[in-house]
């Protein structure tokens, strides 16, 4: 098993509706990179249909679209991020980075609490074989 990690997932929700979350942001990043919903879906192991639905949902929920059709180009089209799409990705990722940095110490402590023997920051000298406390 890989070593434990503490990770933030950021979502913008209203009631039960999820406007933006890690899935949509990863998809936007993949579209930014591949300039194609088809290629982006493939790179994420997602069906084209699923990717299309997510993009459509996102575009509808925003005041203006995050993904637009590219005009012309070598392969005659494809998809690109709009200015809003770019800013959405950038702000979202910046928040994750800022949060992780601001909480670095407590995140380390959390990992230590959860898996003291699997993290490198545990106090030296503690016996790894001290066993489980009674439950």
Site string for a copy of itself, 6-45 (x = CB under 8 A): xxxxxxxxxx-x-xx-------------------------
Instruction: Give the pair of three-digit tokens for residue 21.
Output: 């979350």
Based on CB atoms, which residue is closest to a copy of itself, 15 or 125? 15
Q: How far is the CB of 104 from a copy of itself (least distance, A)?
A: 10
Based on CB atoms, which residue is closest to a copy of itself, 43 or 82? 82
Q: Is 70 in the site for a copy of itself (CB under 8 A)?
A: no
Q: Contact, 27 vs 67, CB < 8 A?
A: no
Based on CB atoms, which residue is closest to a copy of itself, 39 or 103? 103
Based on CB atoms, which residue is closest to a copy of itself, 39 or 107? 107
CA distance 34 to 43: 9
DSSP, collapsed to helix, strand or coil, labels residue 81 as strand
Q: Is 53 in the site for a copy of itself (CB under 8 A)?
A: no
Instruction: Categorise residue 63: left if φ over 0, alpha if ψ from -120 to 50, beta otherwise.
Output: alpha
Stated as kind and residue range, the H or E segment containing 45 is: none
């Amino acid at each position: 098993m890989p070593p434990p990690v503490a990770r933030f997932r950021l979502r913008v929700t209203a009631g039960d509706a999820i406007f933006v979350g890690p899935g949509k942001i990863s998809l936007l990043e993949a579209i930014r990179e591949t300039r194609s919903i088809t290629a982006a879906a493939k790179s994420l192991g997602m069906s084209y249909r699923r990717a299309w639905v997510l993009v459509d949902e996102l575009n509808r929920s925003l005041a203006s679209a995050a993904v637009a059709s590219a005009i012309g180009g070598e392969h005659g089209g494809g998809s690109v991020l709009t200015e809003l799409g770019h800013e959405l990705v950038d702000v979202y990722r910046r928040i994750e980075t800022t949060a992780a940095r601001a909480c670095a110490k407590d995140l380390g402590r959390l990992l230590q609490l959860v898996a003291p023997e699997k993290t490198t920051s545990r106090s030296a000298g503690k016996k790894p074989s001290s066993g489980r406390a009674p439950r």
